Amino acid sequence: MEKRAQNKLKMYKLVISTCTEHPAAVSSISSLQPVITDVELKVQLLEDLALEQSSLLMGIKEKKDKHRLTTIAKLQSVAGALEAYALASGDTVLRTKVHLAPSILKIQAGFKTMQAIDRVLEAANDHIPDLQLSGILPADITDLQTLRDELDVLFMAVRNAIAERKTKTKDVRKLMRELDNLIKGQLDNLVLVIRDAHPQFFDRYHAARMVVDYKGKTKSLSPPSDLPGLIPPPENIL
């Protein structure tokens, strides 16, 4: 969950707990509790979405990275034997084809890595007898092909998880907009109605609505007693 969403979720939950701790104030007007209940339901949904969002990549990326290292090790052994044969036979085209540049082996170079594996596999299948002289057997080429196919599936799984995570992020932002509209448009105004009758609740509610900015710092707001009968303007509230 984005830092902005985390900060808003903390504020939403604090608003709910403040209302729960002041039942007399909440029950003083009949229209207040249904709004609070609606906020509670949406906050629970927001937490569920945040959990789904954070779990999408959990374990998948680590599994892909671990499998990638195993595949790279096998790739290097096959490519090394091919390059050694190319040097010995003076085959510059083959040497260029199977040479593994350092950039290919970087963890971020997924697409380049797959291209390199495919080039080496193609060359290996064309030079099976020559590779056997260097200790690379057909079974090694088959193993590399299997590792390559499994890695491709894992790369796809990570891409799908990232795409789904982006969708969840949009859902989170949409739900936060709904919560903001509900709190600013209804809850803030209803709490303002009972300010004089329940000043302690109003002060606590105002404190719960205090902004924590995206760098983790709290924006200073005037205390409720200094406000001219109004809750702080929207730009000072999450």
Judge contact between 7 and 214, C-beta under 8 A.
yes
Q: pLDDT digit string (tens) for 203-212?
A: 999 999 875 5
Helices (H), 56-137: 60-89, 92-98, 110-126, 128-132
Of 96-105, 118-127, 142-151, 194-203, the least confident:
96-105
Q: Return the closest-CA partner of residue 205 out of 15, 8, 4.
A: 15
**Statement to judge: residues 81 and 153 lie in one domain:** yes
When pLDDT is cut at 50, 70 and 90, the band that residue 228 belongs to is very low
Domain count, the chain: 2
Angle at CA of residue 103, ends 100 and 105, nearest 5°: 65
The answer to whether residues 157 and 197 belong to one domain is no
* Residue 103 or residue 77, greater confidence: 77
Distance of CA 104 to the CA centre of its chain: 26
Residue 50 pLDDT: 87
Distance CA 177, CA 66 (A): 39
Dist CA 166 CA 161 (whole Å): 9
- Does 166 reside within a domain? no
**Is the model more confident about 119 or about 230?**
119
CB 176 within 8 A of CB 8: yes
Size of the chain in residues:
238
Does some domain include residue 227? yes
Q: Which of 138, 161, 184 is the last residue of a domain?
A: 161
Residues 68 and 131 in one domain: yes
Task: Please check the confidence at residue 186 and state whether its pLDDT lies above 90.
Answer: yes
Residue 150 lies in a domain: yes
pLDDT tens for residues 138-159? 999 999 999 999 999 999 999 8
- Decide: 113 and 135 in contact? Cβ < 8 Å: no
Identify the burial level of 200 via C-beta atoms within 10 angstroms of its C-beta, where 0-12 means exposed, 13-18 middle and 19 or more buried. exposed
Claim to verify: residue 90 and residue 140 sit in the same structural domain: yes
Query: What range defines the domain where residue 39 resides?
Result: 3-58+171-236
Residue 213: its pLDDT value, please? 45
- pLDDT at position 130: 93
